């Protein structure tokens, strides 16, 4: 059986460079006053001609790089925000807040070494952004997703140094501890929330300042615009994606979002062509037939090589008690039925 995380594991083991470091070595000469249309043409030409697993060129010889071009494009997208598929059009560059509640300086609710992700990812340096472009009635992180002002803004330079410290300590052989006697070396950087999509420009700013040889994970609800997906291409090493619903009706009712399956399935297909994926699906009580089984069927037909995490840890939170089917946890019968269906489809469960 092929390894669904082969690229990610190669970076962790030092056999390949993270993609954001390679992007720093790919030349992208562009005039500052070029139109956005011209910049997008250049971006697509460069990304289309770059082999995804080529090692980076000598970064000292590059004046402006592909990462610089991505930064310029993301800055322009903030002027009329279209990072997520809501496309609210807010001028976030001037401080106006988007539909997500986030302005030009995303706030970080918390950042720490996390040991509760999927086993291949631990320990993961998780950066939790405040605010979200969804309004999930059962959100278990509602304290940060519904309050875009919680936490604090951390300058890209400061966060970049933090990433480098958490990477280099382990390489140097030091044993320094944070809490609970866990070592400080991070295996990856995990951009999450809330939702990281509104903070995409900020993430690129951090990576511009970072030299750490560490893979980057995009932990997302996957409701990004196609342009945002293009900017992530060649920067992200693994998508830790969320495929919540098997239809638009449940998504509109429980997350207050339109065109859910069209957008999120499109982005899963795009992501699967870019790099490795772990697809998460949180089983919701009462949604086995309408969501879980259709999601598994779609994955088996469209992304059969992806790693899949069937999550059974749902518990009522936020406004869940206002929805009759969400008032209790999932039954063992439902979880077993979902797992059995996934295995019959040949999906790679982790």
With respect to residue 44, please indicate whether it lies within any of the assigned structural domains.
Answer: no
With respect to residue 60, please indicate whether it lies within any of the assigned structural domains.
Answer: no
With respect to residue 232, please indicate whether it lies within any of the assigned structural domains.
Answer: yes
With respect to residue 148, please indicate whether it lies within any of the assigned structural domains.
Answer: yes
Beta-ladder partners of 26: none
Residue 39, helix vs strand vs coil = helix
Residue 112 · residue 189 · CB < 8 Å: no
Q: Which residues contact 240 (CB under 8 A, 6 or more apart)?
A: 117, 118, 121, 190, 192, 217, 218, 219, 220, 277, 278, 280
Residue 291, helix vs strand vs coil = helix
Structure letter (DSSP) for residue 289: I
Residues 64-67: contacts with CB within 8 Å, 24+ apart? 64/27, 64/28, 64/29, 64/30, 65/23, 65/24, 65/25, 65/26, 65/27, 65/28, 66/23, 66/24, 66/26, 66/27, 66/28, 66/234, 67/20, 67/23, 67/24, 67/204, 67/207, 67/208, 67/235
With respect to residue 76, please indicate whether it lies within any of the assigned structural domains.
Answer: no
350 residues of the chain, pLDDT tens digit each? 589 999 999 999 999 999 999 999 999 999 989 999 999 999 999 999 876 555 544 545 578 999 999 999 999 999 999 999 999 999 999 999 999 999 999 999 999 999 999 999 999 999 999 999 999 999 999 999 999 999 999 999 999 999 999 887 445 444 444 444 444 589 999 999 999 999 999 999 999 999 999 999 999 999 999 999 999 999 999 999 999 999 999 999 999 999 999 999 999 999 999 999 999 999 999 999 999 999 999 999 999 999 999 999 999 999 999 999 999 999 999 999 999 999 999 999 99
**Interaxial angle between packed helices 66-79 and 36-49, expressed in degrees from 0 to 180 and rounded to the nearest 10:** 140
Query: What torsion do the CA atoms of 325, 85, 221, 260 make, to the nearest 10 degrees?
Result: 40
Structure letter (DSSP) for residue 82: -
Residue 281, helix vs strand vs coil = strand
Give the pLDDT of residue 54: 55
With respect to residue 16, please indicate whether it lies within any of the assigned structural domains.
Answer: no
Overall number of domains in the chain? 1
DSSP string of 89-157? Answer: ---GGGT---TTS--SSPPEEEEEEE--S-GGG-SEEEEEES--S---TT-TTHHHHT-TTSSB---HH
Give the pLDDT of residue 278: 98
Residue 176 · residue 169 · CB < 8 Å: yes
Give the pLDDT of residue 53: 56
CATH code assigned at 143: 3.20.20.70
Sign of CA dihedral 248, 251, 253, 258: negative
**Rama region for 174: left / alpha / beta (φ>0; ψ in -120 to 50; rest):** beta
With respect to residue 192, please indicate whether it lies within any of the assigned structural domains.
Answer: yes
Backbone angles phi, psi at 260, to 5 degrees: -55, -60
With respect to residue 316, please indicate whether it lies within any of the assigned structural domains.
Answer: yes
Give the pLDDT of residue 180: 42
Domain that includes residue 207, residue range: 6-10+106-349
Q: How far, in Å, are 70, 160, 271, 315 from residue 202 at the CA level? A: 11, 11, 20, 32
Residue 349 · residue 310 · CB < 8 Å: yes
From edge to edge, which strands make up the β-sheet containing 108-114?
108-114, 124-129, 188-193, 216-220, 238-242, 276-282, 307-311, 348-349
């Amino acid at each position: 059986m092929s390894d669904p995380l082969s690229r990610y594991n190669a970076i962790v083991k030092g056999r390949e460079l993270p993609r954001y470091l390679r992007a720093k070595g790919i030349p992208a000469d562009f005039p500052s006053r070029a139109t956005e249309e011209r910049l997008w043409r250049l971006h697509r030409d460069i990304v289309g001609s770059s082999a995804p697993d080529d090692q980076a060129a000598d970064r000292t010889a590059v004046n402006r790089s592909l990462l610089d071009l991505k930064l310029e494009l993301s800055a322009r997208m903030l002027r009329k925000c279209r990072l997520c598929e809501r496309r609210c059009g807010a001028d976030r560059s001037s401080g106006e807040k988007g539909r997500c509640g986030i302005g030009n300086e995303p706030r970080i609710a918390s950042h720490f070494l996390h040991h509760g992700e999927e086993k291949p990812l631990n320990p993961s340096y998780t950066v939790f952004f405040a605010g979200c472009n969804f309004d999930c009635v059962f959100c278990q992180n509602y304290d940060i997703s519904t309050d875009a002002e919680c936490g604090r803004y951390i300058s890209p330079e400061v966060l970049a140094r933090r990433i480098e410290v958490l990477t280099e300590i382990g390489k140097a052989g030091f044993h320094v501890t944070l809490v609970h006697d866990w070592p400080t070396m991070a295996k990856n950087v995990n951009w999450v929330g809330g939702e990281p999509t509104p903070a995409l420009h900020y993430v690129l700013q951090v990576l511009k300042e970072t030299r750490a040889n560490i893979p980057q994970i995009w932990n997302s609800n996957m409701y990004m615009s196609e342009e945002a997906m293009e900017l992530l291409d060649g920067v992200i090493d693994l998508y830790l994606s969320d495929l919540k619903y098997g239809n638009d009706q449940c998504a509109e009712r429980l997350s207050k979002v339109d065109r859910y399956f069209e957008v999120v399935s499109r982005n899963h297909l795009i992501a699967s062509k870019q790099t490795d994926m772990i697809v998460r699906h949180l089983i919701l009580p009462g949604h086995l037939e309408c969501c879980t089984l259709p999601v598994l069927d779609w994955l088996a037909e469209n992304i059969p090589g992806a790693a899949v995490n069937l999550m059974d840890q749902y518990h009522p939170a936020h406004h869940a008690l206002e929805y009759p089917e969400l008032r209790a946890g999932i039954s063992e019968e439902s979880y077993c039925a979902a797992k059995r269906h996934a295995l019959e489809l040949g999906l790679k469960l982790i």
